[in-house]
Amino acid sequence: MARFVLVHGAFGGAWTWEPIVDKLESLGHTVETFDLPGGGTDETPLEDVTLASCADRVCSVLAQRPEAAVLVGYSMGGIVATQAAGNCPERFASLIFVASFMPSNGQSLLDLTGLPEGEGDMIQANIVVEGEPPLASMSDEATAAAVYNCCSDAQVADVLPRRRPQAVAVFATPISVDDDVLARIPRSYVLTQQDNCIMPALQRRMIAEHPCRKVVELDTDHAPHLSRTDELVAALDEMTIS
């Protein structure tokens, strides 16, 4: 059985993973969730929220137990997880990207969204950036259409009030890693076919550029932990099998 460490995405927190934690644990896995700096209930000052601070948080969580972990990065969490893998690769058993950005050395999240395959995503069309340090936010209506388009009205009503503005620094900073180090960490990917945030074409391009040990496609939106909970749990469980 695996040690899962789950990394949430932008605007989110550890609460993102609530639907799947008990289900993974019922299969015999251990599961750890946590808030990235500025996410969930974390009180890190917004000016201190950077890609580096987020990656440091991941490595700190990993260091709390001796065994290597299966690290799951969701959405923006894929950027953070990749940087953390470059910083503390010895703590990774494998990497799983769920509807997630999967960068190369020197790429930022914004670089990836600017690729031709990313055209048409509803985040870039609706995101609002303002303030100093710059923070990103979206209206509830735009968020529901962009992220939760396959979720029930009740699920959407539950999660929208829990979302927080996101520090733009995490989007804009390129990762700095040794590609040879990353290549030694097995990768898998859960692709979401009705995703309005990370377009399926962009997900396929990233998979082609970073060959994965296993790829599972789910016919759902950018929130498979809500809209296809059982299918996501089955995919994560399967991806721990060599």
CB 148 within 8 A of CB 155: yes
Q: What is the pLDDT of residue 46?
A: 85
How confident is the model over 131-159, as pLDDT tens digits? Answer: 988 999 999 999 999 999 999 999 999 99
> Which pLDDT tens digit goes with each residue over 60-109?
999 999 999 999 999 999 999 999 999 999 999 999 999 999 999 999 99
| d(C-alpha 155, C-alpha 163), whole Å | 13
Strand partners, 32: 5
- Tell me the mean pLDDT in the region 175-193: 95
Cα end-to-end span (Å), the chain: 12
Query: Cα separation of 131 and 134, whole Å?
Result: 5
Identify residue 206 by its one-letter amino acid code: M
The structural domain count of the chain equals 1
Residue 220 has pLDDT above 70, yes or no: yes
Cis peptide leading into residue 133 (ω within 30°)? yes
What is the pLDDT averaged over residues 217-225? 98
pLDDT of residue 23: 98
Res 242: pLDDT: 63
Q: List, for residues 33-48, the tens digit of each pLDDT value.
A: 999 999 999 999 988 9
Alpha-carbon gap, residue 145 to 24, rounded angstroms: 28
Contacts of 16 (CB under 8 A, 6+ apart): 6, 8, 9, 33, 74, 225
Closest CA to 72 of 53, 48, 97: 97
Here the CATH number for the domain that contains residue 211 is 3.40.50.1820
Average pLDDT score, the chain: 96
Residue 241 in this model has a pLDDT that exceeds 90: no
Domain range holding 221? 3-239
Q: Label the pairing between strands 166-167 and 135-137.
A: antiparallel
Q: Which two tokens stand for residue 71?
A: 């690290």
